[in-house]
Amino acid sequence: VRLVESGGGFVQPGGSLRLSCEVSGLTLSMTPMNWVRQAPGKGLEWVSRIGTDSKTYYADSVKGRFTISRDDAQSTLYLQMNSLETEDTAMYFCTNWKVRYCTLGRCFGTPDRASGDWGQGTQVTVSS
């Protein structure tokens, strides 16, 4: 399995970025996928998930601003990030790590880079 993220960069508060994750070695339409981020000096934070039924879930901190999607034909996962805030500064990873459970629009579990497949990450920096 290979996951390759791209699309990160430097953006001012209020700006937008779209992250991409090219997936190979698994069937994207049959695999729940997540975006997870790690801010400087902090632990891994789950951000968003898309299920095999295309149902989407978001952390409270990004709900209403971020949108997860996928293109099964291109085998690519996306994260559209709008209204970016300085607190969104982090390395962003795509992963098929299994969340513990999902309910009421969000998921729970502690991301673990030793579990599942992970990309190398793409850096997002939000600063004025």
pLDDT at site 8: 97
Rounded Cα–Cα distance for residues 62 and 70 (Å): 18
**DSSP codes of every residue in 74-115:** TTEEEEEE-S--GGG-EEEEEE-PPPSEEETTEEE----TTS
45, with CB counted inside 10 A (0-12, 13-18, 19+), is middle
- Per residue in 13-55, pLDDT (tens digit) is 999 999 999 999 999 999 999 999 999 999 999 999 999 999 9
pLDDT at site 123: 98
Taking a C-beta distance cutoff of 8 angstroms, is the pair 5, 19 a contact?
yes
pLDDT at site 122: 98
pLDDT at site 126: 98
- Per residue in 85-99, pLDDT (tens digit) is 999 999 999 999 999
Q: Mean pLDDT throughout 67-92?
A: 97
Please state the φ and ψ torsions of residue 87, each to the nearest 5 degrees. -70, -10
Rounded Cα–Cα distance for residues 121 and 45 (Å): 13
Taking a C-beta distance cutoff of 8 angstroms, is the pair 91, 44 a contact?
no
